[in-house]
Amino acid sequence: MPKSLPQTSNLGFTDRVLAVVKGIKIGSTLSYKEVAIKAGNAKAVRAVGTIMAKNFRPDIPCHRVIKSDGTVGAYNRGGSEAKIKLLKKEGAFLKQTGN
């Protein structure tokens, strides 16, 4: 998992979020809250969700960002079922739900 980025970085919050998410390894996940903390603003959990919803860059694995309760949450590239499929393919542990 990527270390926290210094808040004094010249990067804006969106760029810091994207950098954190880009560093999530295959088979791993971070919660929206963990991403917000690592990007330098623990209270910006919803902003992380918005940034992920608007992200269509193929080099940013936004499917690896999940909810704090371990469920997957939304995915802008095919919905939660597509997100689950990708995470399972990568070997990520997912909380068992009705899916």
62 is catalytic: yes
Query: In Å, what is the CA distance from 57 to each residue of 6, 34, 45, 96?
Result: 23, 21, 20, 28
Contact at 8 Å (CB) between 91 and 85?
Answer: no
Domains of the chain: 13-90 (1.10.10.10)
At 22-63, the pLDDT tens digits run 999 999 999 999 999 999 999 999 999 999 999 999 999 999
What are the backbone dihedrals phi and psi of residue 6, each rounded to the nearest 5 degrees, phi first?
-60, 135
Write down the mean pLDDT value for the chain.
89
Contact at 8 Å (CB) between 60 and 2?
Answer: no
Q: What is the model's pLDDT at position 8?
A: 46
The single residue of 21, 36, 62, 84 carrying the catalytic annotation is 62
Contact at 8 Å (CB) between 34 and 21?
Answer: no
